[in-house]
Structures are given as C-alpha cells and as structure tokens.
Amino acid sequence: MSSIAFSILWRASSIENVEAPPIDDDKTVDLAVIGGGFTGLSAALEAARRGASVCVLEAGTFGHGGSGRNVGLVNAGLWLPPDTIVGELGETAARKLIDMLGAGPGEVFALIERENIACEPTRKGTLHLAHSPAGLKDLEERFRQGNRHGAPLSLLDRSETARRTGSNAFEGALFDPRAGTIQPLSYCRGLARAASAKGAALHEHSPVAAIRRESDMWVVEALGKSVRARNLLMATNAYHRDINAPYTPAFIPFNYCQFATAPLPEKAREKILAGGEGCWDTAMVMSSIRLDAAGRMIVGGVGSMEHAGKGFHQAWARRKLRGLYPELGDIPFEHGWSGRIAMTGDHIPKIVAFGPNAYAIFGYSGRGIAPGTVFGRTAAAALLDTAPELLPLSPVSGHQERFTAAKAAYYEAGATFVHSLARRF
C-alpha cells in the first residue's frame, strides 16, 4: 500500500483567511495574547469587542497547532463523565464548569452566525459509539449521569445506531443534540478575521522569545520588538515553544491522526452518516469518523503521522474503513495528518495565574473547540475586569505533571501496537 504524504485537509479546504504580518514595531496594549488558536483568538475577539487594545503573537500561522488539526467535533462538556468532575472539583465548582461547557456548542454556533464565519457549521449532534458491550455499559452510565446533570442526551439502540451511521459495527450510541461539526481551521481563521475587523493587532510568524514583568506591566519580546501589556494570556496549549518566561505549561503531549478520503459517491452519502452527526467511540485507543461538507469520510485515531509508526496508523485506518463500511474499502485516502493534544493527568483544563493579571490556559485533553472558545472569551473578560469569578474554573498558582515524556512515549507505543495488529480495526 502506498504511503500518504503528510497533508492537512483543513488547509486545502479552508475558505477563511486574514492578513497578519510579523510584528515590526513596539506596542502598548490592554491585552497581549500568545498563541493563535481557539483560546487565544476567542480572547482577542472578546477583548476587541469590548474596545480594548489587543495584540496577538503567533509563532507560526493561526491554527497551525491543534486548532487547525482538530477533528472538528464541537462537543459539549469535557471527556470526563459529570460525576468524575464533581469528584475532582467538588459540587459547586463542578456544576459551574459543567453548565458553562454544556452551553459551549451553542456559544460556538452563535458566534459563527454573528461573525459570518465560513466553516461548514453543521449542528446535527454527535454520536458517542459503543464499540463493544462493555462500551455500551459505559454509555448507559454516561447517559444516566448526563441526564441527571441536565444534559439532553438520548441513548440509541443497535438498530437506530446502524440507521444513523450506516454501519452494523456498533452496539449502540449516546446522542448529544447540543453538539455538531465544523471545519476547524476555517473557524480559527474566522475568529482571527473577526478580531482584526474589531481592531485587534494580529501577527503571525512572530515567535515570542521572552516574557518579563516591569513595574505594573508585562513585556513580551518577539522578533526584537516589545509589546507592553497590562494583561497577558498565554494560550499556546500543546504547541508551546521555548520561551524565557515565569511559567511553562505542564502537560502530557498526546497525538491524534486523521485520514480523509476522496468525496464519497452520492449513493454512499445517502446511507452513511446521512444525518450529519460526527462520531467517536468508546475504545481505549479511541477512533472517530465524520464527513465534511464535500462528503469526504475522515477516519481518526490515536497516533502520530510524524513518528516511525505512521505506516501502522495508515494501515489501521484502511482496515477501520473497510470494517465499518465494506463498500468504501477501496476509496483512496487523499489526506493524512496528525496533531498534538495537551492532556492533563486528571483530564481537566488548567488556568494558571502565573503573575499579576496573567493567565496560562491549557490542557483540554482533546476537547478544544467549545472549551477553548469559552475559556478564551471568559479569560479576556476576567483579565480586563479583574473578575476571575467569570472564569469556568478558579485559577491556580501553578500546575505540574510528572514523567510527561515517558507517558507520551507510552501512549504512542500503545497506539502503534494496537494499530499494528493485522485483524484489529
């Protein structure tokens, strides 16, 4: 089987764009943002809408990191079941986080409509698919917990799941009508365009070298220029680069790869995910399926296309597609790529207040679109208004993770081993 060249579908199909030249002068602003992904650009847009002066510094291009390599599932809440969040945070803090992130997809789709972002928005819900009887039991418990905490979830039986997915491979599914899918890079670039239109200064190819505190201001250095800011947001997440700074985000890097086919034949599109839902499953080595607006099937799974095991991941994706949809077994993959996820040990995002009027936000553990949008918007409001109570989570003074490199290697090795099994899909 021929190897797929590393090629990100979202870059090929994105409509949205924005001009953001490298920084070439010194600035003084109300808010400096480091990182041009969902969180940073959501914060920039909110601050600019409030009339604040904003400067965004992105080391690469907007959406270069996880935001532009995302599956594109706009899910409600975190990956964790609600009761687990309560156990980690306590009832009051957990309820606030669950409620704000439960409303997250609604915020994303309302923002898309308000700013007229061309990102293939499809709010038809998502399906969490039971890959086995044990997976179905997990979904039954998530259904009970979710409904108890106010989520409008539905538990689907095998026949209804087969009707919606067009595959007989699943034991059942959990349907969340709040959720949906988007073209993630277009959404990210659309946030940038909207922020720029409201006055934010945006700069790509402007890697930050150092951050320091001078008197009552933050000073951010990039390309030999200085940005003085009253407030600072570090929103680099899994793509943080070396910066001489008071704090470095601590997380476990976790890779996820995706493979996109040529557009499906019309007859297949009438049967396969005809309702427009995006899907992921209950397997320990998780996988996902969805269609884009052109009808491409996108198969995703744990693993990196930038490591030695990429051939195993590609072969697995072909077996996965044939196992789910035998009629698609020979349709070619036209794109293959991977992205890095910032995972925390407890799978709960972190807001670290690493100095006066400064936050580092990271660790969405694979749930970046709606949480990133919500955390970014509220971070801008909290910093500008000196009101941390507006945040979904209370800030902490620091966060560390142990053995991050070893854990990252373990996850990649595990995914490669599972994907190397000839009969496994």
**pLDDT band with cut points at 50, 70 and 90 for residue 284:** confident
Mean pLDDT taken over the chain:
95
What element of type H or E holds 42? Answer: helix 38-49
Share of the chain above pLDDT 90, in %: 91
Residue 229 pLDDT > 70: yes
* Amino acid 424: pLDDT: 60
Name the residue with tokens 């156990």: 87
Is residue 222 in some structural domain?
Answer: yes
**pLDDT band with cut points at 50, 70 and 90 for residue 412:** confident
Q: Write out pLDDT tens, residues 188-220.
A: 999 999 999 999 999 999 999 999 999 999 999
Residue 341 pLDDT > 60: yes
**pLDDT band with cut points at 50, 70 and 90 for residue 4:** confident
* Amino acid 2: pLDDT: 57
Higher-confidence position of 329 and 181: 181
Mean pLDDT of 101-121: 98
Please tell me the total count of domains within the chain: 1
Residue 42 pLDDT > 50: yes
Residue 317 pLDDT > 80: yes
**pLDDT band with cut points at 50, 70 and 90 for residue 5:** confident
Measured CA to CA, the distance from residue 59 to residue 35 in angstroms comes to: 7
Name the residue with tokens 């969805």: 290
Mean pLDDT of 60-81: 96
Residue 320 pLDDT > 80: yes
Number of Cα atoms under 13 Å in the Cβ half of residue 256: 26
Q: Write out pLDDT tens, residues 243-255.
A: 999 999 999 999 9
**pLDDT band with cut points at 50, 70 and 90 for residue 1:** very low
Q: Write out pLDDT tens, residues 383-408.
A: 999 999 999 999 999 999 998 889 88
Closest CA to 360 of 394, 395, 321: 395
* Amino acid 425: pLDDT: 61
Mean pLDDT of 272-278: 97
Vertex 139, ends 136 and 145: CA angle to 5°? 150
* Amino acid 22: pLDDT: 98
Measured CA to CA, the distance from residue 115 to residue 117 in angstroms comes to: 6
Q: DSSP characters for 92-153?
A: HHHHHHHHHHHTHHHHHHHHHHHHT--S--B-S-EEEEESSHHHHHHHHHHHHHHHHTT---
Is residue 276 in some structural domain?
Answer: yes
Measured CA to CA, the distance from residue 202 to residue 62 in angstroms comes to: 10
Mean pLDDT of 165-190: 98
Burial 79-99 (b: 16+ CB within 10 A, else e): ebbbbbbbeebeeeebbbbbe
Can you give the CATH number for the domain in which 106 is found? 3.50.50.60
**pLDDT band with cut points at 50, 70 and 90 for residue 335:** very high
- Residue 303 domain boundaries: 9-420
Q: Write out pLDDT tens, residues 301-316.
A: 999 998 888 999 999 9
Residue 74 pLDDT > 60: yes
Is residue 1 in some structural domain?
Answer: no
Residue 139 pLDDT > 90: yes
Q: CB neighbours (10 Å) of residue 398? A: 11
Is residue 241 in some structural domain?
Answer: yes
Is residue 77 in some structural domain?
Answer: yes
Is 359:268 a contact under the CB 8 Å cutoff?
A: no
Tokens of 114: 């308000």
* Amino acid 410: pLDDT: 84
> With a threshold of 0.75, does the pTM exceed it?
yes
Residue 25 pLDDT > 70: yes
